[in-house]
């Protein structure tokens, strides 16, 4: 019976975060799809939806502020509040990545893809799946799954590496495809960053559960270290 009010408000917030996550995931998938279909209408729509994403993020942050001021959450509840603030930030960033991909669609026009677009679609699939699952784990505060999901980041990195190599080769073989291929690299880069965001969300979930903020890329450093990635 105690703290009914706060529990109610927290579950409302979590719903809103899930919603925001859906919007961001939807935006990424939709952007890649628009790229595949070269659908400029869809691409422009993504810019409009991004405004909604930003609005919702701001509303969630405001609500967290109000909740902290009026309910004075402590311990776990307090960590949850700061984690929500950070996760909404990540989700909004993912929305921006989707926007970036949509921009590419508008810039490309009708030129041929030098790299098979299916690879990019697969990468998008995987990245969005990671986001979706880590968000679910965040809402249910599942620490165990949150330690497992980041391991998939290696696979995404490999996908990126493979696309990158092929793009390089394509640019060398067909110099007039440099523009398009460059854009495609950019799209792949955005998707790789999306997967990183998912990893960050997992880190936040672990933080809520344990109070420790760990940097997961440190853990998998030895496995995924390949040339070309040191920039990260």
Partner 1 sequence: MEISIETRENTSVKYPSLVSLPVLPISNKGLLDGFEIKMEILNLSVFYNKFRALNEISVKIPTNRITAIIGPSGCGKSTLLRSLNRMNDLTPKIHIEGEIKLDAKNIYGKGVDIVDVRRRVGMVFQRPNPFPMSIFENVAYGPRLYGISNRMLLDEIVETSLVKAALWDEVKDKLNQSGMTISGGQQQRLCIARALAVEPEIILMDEPASALDPVATIKIEELMQTLKTNYTIVIVTHNMQQAARVSDFTAFMMINQERAGTLVEFGATPQIFTNPKNRQTEDYVTGRFG
Q: Footprint of partner 1 on this chain (CB under 8 A)?
A: 1-5, 9, 12-13, 15-16, 19, 22-23, 25-26, 29-30, 32-34, 37, 39, 41-42, 45-46, 49, 52, 55-56, 59-60, 62-63, 65-66, 69-72, 121, 124-126, 128-129, 132-133
167: its two tokens: 């793009």
Q: Give the relative orientation of helices 153-173 and 117-139 as an angle to the nearest 10 degrees.
A: 160
CB of 3 to partner 1, least distance (A): 8
Contact 183, 204 (CB under 8 A): no
Tell me how far, at minimum, the Cβ of 42 lies from partner 1, in Å: 5
Q: Looking at beta carbons only, is 118 or 229 nearer to partner 1?
A: 118
- Quote the least distance from Cβ 185 to partner 1, whole Å: 20
Judged by CB, which is closer to partner 1: 171, or 191? 191
Phi first, then psi: what are they for 165, rounded to 5°?
A: -60, -45
What are 216's two structure tokens?
A: 């997961």
Q: Which tokens belong to 165? A: 């190599």
CB of 215 to partner 1, least distance (A): 26
Rounded CA separation 138/69 (Å): 23
Q: Which residue lies nearer to partner 1 by CB, 55 or 174?
A: 55
Least spacing, CB of residue 226 vs partner 1, in Å: 25
Residue 15 or 210 with smaller CB distance to partner 1:
15
DSSP 8-class letter at 115: S
Give the whole-angstrom CA distance, residue 163 versus residue 151. 20
The answer to whether 33 and 42 have CB atoms below 8 angstroms apart is: yes
Identify which of residues 34 and 206 has a Cβ nearer to partner 1 in the complex: 34
Residue 60 or 167: the one with the smaller Cβ distance to partner 1 is 60
Shortest distance in whole angstroms from residue 84 CB to partner 1: 12
d(CA 6, CA 78): 12
Q: Is the dihedral of CA 162, 168, 216, 194 positive or negative?
A: negative
Q: How far, in Å, CA of 121 to CA of 65, rounded?
A: 38
């Amino acid at each position: 019976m105690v703290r009914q009010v706060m529990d109610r408000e927290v579950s409302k917030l979590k719903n809103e975060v899930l919603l925001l996550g859906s919007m961001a995931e939807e935006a990424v998938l939709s952007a890649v799809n628009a790229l595949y279909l070269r659908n400029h209408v869809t691409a422009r729509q993504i810019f409009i939806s991004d405004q909604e994403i930003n609005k919702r993020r701001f509303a969630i942050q405001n609500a967290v502020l109000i909740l902290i001021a009026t309910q004075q959450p402590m311990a776990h509840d307090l960590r949850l509040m700061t984690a929500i603030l950070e996760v909404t930030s990540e989700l909004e960033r993912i929305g921006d990545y989707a926007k970036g991909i949509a921009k590419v669609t508008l810039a490309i026009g009708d030129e041929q893809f030098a790299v098979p677009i299916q690879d990019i679609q697969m990468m998008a699939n995987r990245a969005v799946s990671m986001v979706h699952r880590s968000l679910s784990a965040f809402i249910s505060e599942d620490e165990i799954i949150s330690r497992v999901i980041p391991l998939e980041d290696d696979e995404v990195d490999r996908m990126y590496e493979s696309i990158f190599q092929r793009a390089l080769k394509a640019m060398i073989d067909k110099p007039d495809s440099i523009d398009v291929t460059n854009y495609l690299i950019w799209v792949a880069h955005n998707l790789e960053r999306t997967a990183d965001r998912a990893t960050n969300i997992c880190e936040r979930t672990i933080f809520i559960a344990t109070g420790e903020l760990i940097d997961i890329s440190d853990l998998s450093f030895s496995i995924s270290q390949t040339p070309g990635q040191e920039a990260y």
